[in-house]
Structure 1
Amino acid sequence: MTDKLKPLREKIDSIDAQILDLLNQRAQVAQEVGHVKAETNAPVFRPEREAQVLRGVAERNPGPLGDKEVQSIFREIMSSCRALERRVTVAYLGPAGTFSEQAVYAQFGTAVEGLPCPSIDEVFRATEAGTADFGVVPVENSSEGAINRTLDLLLTTPCLISGEVAIAVHHSLMSKTGTMDGVTVICAHSQALAQCQAWLNQNYPNIERRAVASNAEAARMAGDDPAIAAIASELAGNMYGLGVVKGHIQDDPHNRTRFAVIGKLETGPSGSDHTSLVLAVPNKAGAVYQLLAPLATHGVSMTRFESRPARMGTWEYYFYVDIEGHVHNPAVAKALAELKDNAAFFKVLGSYPTSLT
């Protein structure tokens, strides 16, 4: 076997040397790009450009590596090259080990400076203040729907949505001992408790459930107290020395959460984009239908429609709408102009590349 492996290993070593040389050539060109950007004060991170690169490598990929695997490799290459210009700081709902942190790396790669925040409000605050270049916040879950606090903050923030990323959410029940012996309370974020409600009702109906700021915070608490079990990712469990009682306890096996990337960057067209809006209409019959009619008129597809109370003491609502296309697309621009004329309130939250995940 050694005689057969030796020439193959030598071939791999030769290819690796070529890859290393090409990677450093790419890094040198990226540094030159950084110098040009510095002269014009252009942003280091361009979501539309990186989305185009990742789509391009998938389209050209002949295999045997899968498209997602190739995109993952190139995302890290771009992340490392970007860091040669400047390491981007990204705020997220912490502590370390949350699904929000995973979303950061899924969007930016690992060559970034993560800034864990104790709440979604603090993610917005850090991004608005410039403490972080970008923030990553959960927007909606495939089984539990919208994250209402995020929607409320998007209404008032000066930040724009400049990207989106969706990740699979697999919850594990964990404790310090890896068993439920002596456990009197199960802690997790309220969304995680809701996403595992049926499983918990069937298996541990009599144990108290307590909502905390994040799943990673629950894991940290469980690491300090054997009477606490946590629902969190296994990554968080490993960070805090927990043993898995039961994995994949989410009620929906295909459970996913979509995150928005917020910042001060106005993202250009990438070729496959979404635009997010907040709208309100006068309180009269047919107002919502009339408001949205320009989308159909100009052939613009609506992919999401969510309502939230206006909180002004009356039965009035804000409508959160996602559409296909970029604000610079002619059909989208015409539809939005008509929407604005018909709306009692109109705000573009941002145009951004469609999630690749």
Structure 2
Amino acid sequence: MTDLNALRDQIDALDQQLQDLLNKRADLAHQVAEVKRAEDPEPVFYRPEREAQVLRRIKERNTGPIGAEEMARLFREVMSVCLALEQPMRVAFLGPEGTFTQQAAIKHFGHSVESVPLGAIDEVFREVEAGAVHFGVVPVENSTEGMVNHTLDSFMNSDLKICGEVELRIHHHLLSGPHTRRDKVTRIYSHQQTLAQCRQWLDAHMPAVERIAVSSNAEAARRLRDEWNAMAIAGDMACELYDLEKVQVNIEDRPDNTTRFLIIGRQDTPPSGRDKTSLLVSGKNRPGLLSDLLRPFREKNINLTRLESRPSRIANWSYVFFVDCEGHKEDPGLTEVLEDLDSDGNTIKVLGSYPKAVL
């Protein structure tokens, strides 16, 4: 007991030191805000590249026993609190509350931001463009089901910039509500993408149950409050928010199921050292167009991480290409690629250069 009390005394002493240091860090953050306001009438408080660099250093220098990922998440919350002292931020996401997009927003910004649920992806774009919120979070692709076309199409008519990305491992659970009679279930609610990601499990275990697509997994969970013959498929956040019971966990067809989300805002992001760039490229329809568009990337040895085509909506059978590549638009190699594409008469729109996902 003497040894145990001594260890507890050491923990209490360390807790006091940690608390003092956290308050010192918060005080420095407040001083940073004052300096920024004195130097610029419209200061930029949120710096994605700076936060990415800090989190990378935390993971690289971590020696355990706390894992590098867990340590970075702890500091993510500390940074979120300190940023709120500089400038309280509002972040819009594809709602309602309890969606994976909200979970991605919290993972990227921490819990100290005000998250604003909106009903559609184009609404998120409009709120950011109008300045009603500082940033928005929208899904862009899933490792199982591919691209989210509404997000790609929204970029065609928007001047917003991509400021960051979030990768979120997606786990889907079969949920029941307080009134659910499990032996009488005739329908399952979930988002269209989720139903597709759980298709094999549903075919094997509930083939005769009707699958009803709704606007979000959170909406599917909400419906169970009043229905006795239905279940829902959703994630942990929706389950907790609506106080549901997990009947079966992790029913997604692929255990590595991951969704990528984009952070959209009105500012350009300087280089962080490990960046990606997203482009929208189009050219006159001709034989070899795609090959010509890809040639400069190959010549400059720049790796493409995504290539997607979408109808341009200008003329029938006319397309634009969404390209993700490694590097920042200010890097010499990528700058030359953009110049080469422009000199060939193509239309280029840089959607943003931003840090690669850290968490």
Q: Please report how far the alpha carbon of residue 341 of structure 1 lies from its aligned counterpart in structure 2 after TM superposition.
A: 2.5
- Computed over aligned residues only, the root mean square deviation of the Cα atoms, in angstroms, reads 1.3
Supply the AA of the counterpart residue of 2:115: G
Greater CA deviation, 123-132 or 178-187?
178-187
**1:166 and 1:256 in contact (8 A); partners too:** yes
3-state SS in 2 of match to 1:336: helix
Query: CA contact under 8 A between 1:174 and 1:246: conserved in structure 2?
Result: yes
Residues 1:57 and 2:58 aligned together: yes
| 1:1-357 map, 5 Å | 2-39=1-38, 40=40, 41-177=42-178, 180-357=182-359
Shift of 1:98: 0.7
**1:324 CA drift (Å):** 0.6
Alignment gaps of 5+ in structure 1: none
TM-score, length-scaled by structure 2: 0.96
Q: CA deviation at 1:299?
A: 2.2
Letter in 2 for 1:8: L
The 2-side partners of 1:100 and 1:108 are apart by 12
Distance, in Å, in 2 between the alignment partners of 1:312 and 1:299 is: 32
SS at match of 2:183: coil
Structure 2: segments with no counterpart, 5+ residues: none
Q: Deviations over 1:121-165 (max 9, x none)?
A: 211111111111100000000000001111111121111100000
Distance, in Å, in 1 between the alignment partners of 2:116 and 2:222 is 17
Of the structure 1 ranges 185-194 and 308-317, higher mean CA displacement relative to structure 2 is found in 308-317
Q: How many residues align?
A: 356
Summarize deviations over 1:269-308 as a string: whole Å, max 9, x none.
0000000001112211111111221112222211111111
In structure 2, relative to structure 1, the CA distance for the partners of 1:227 and 1:340 (3 Å cut) is: farther
Measured after TM superposition, the shift of residue 313 of structure 1 is 4.7
- Structure 1 contact 180–245 (Cα < 8 Å) conserved: no
* Contact 2:282 2:348 (C-alpha < 8 Å) held by counterparts: yes
List per-residue Cα deviations over 1:12-71 (Å, max 9, x = no partner): 111111111111111111001111222212212110000000001111112221110110
Whole-Å Cα distance in 1 between the matches of residues 97 and 124 of structure 2? Answer: 14
**What TM-score results when the alignment is normalised by the length of structure 1?**
0.97
How far residue 315 of structure 1 moved from its aligned partner, in angstroms, is 1.6
- Partner amino acid, structure 1, of 2:44: P
Partner Cα distance (2:307, 2:240) in 1: 38
Question: Residues 80-113 of structure 1: CA distance to partner in whole angstroms, max 9, x if unpaired?
Answer: 0000012110000111111001100111011000
Alpha carbons of 1:179 and 1:353: their partners in 2 closer, same or farther (altered >3 Å)? Answer: farther
User: After TM superposition, where is structure 1 displaced by more than 4 Å over at least 4 residues in a row?
Assistant: none
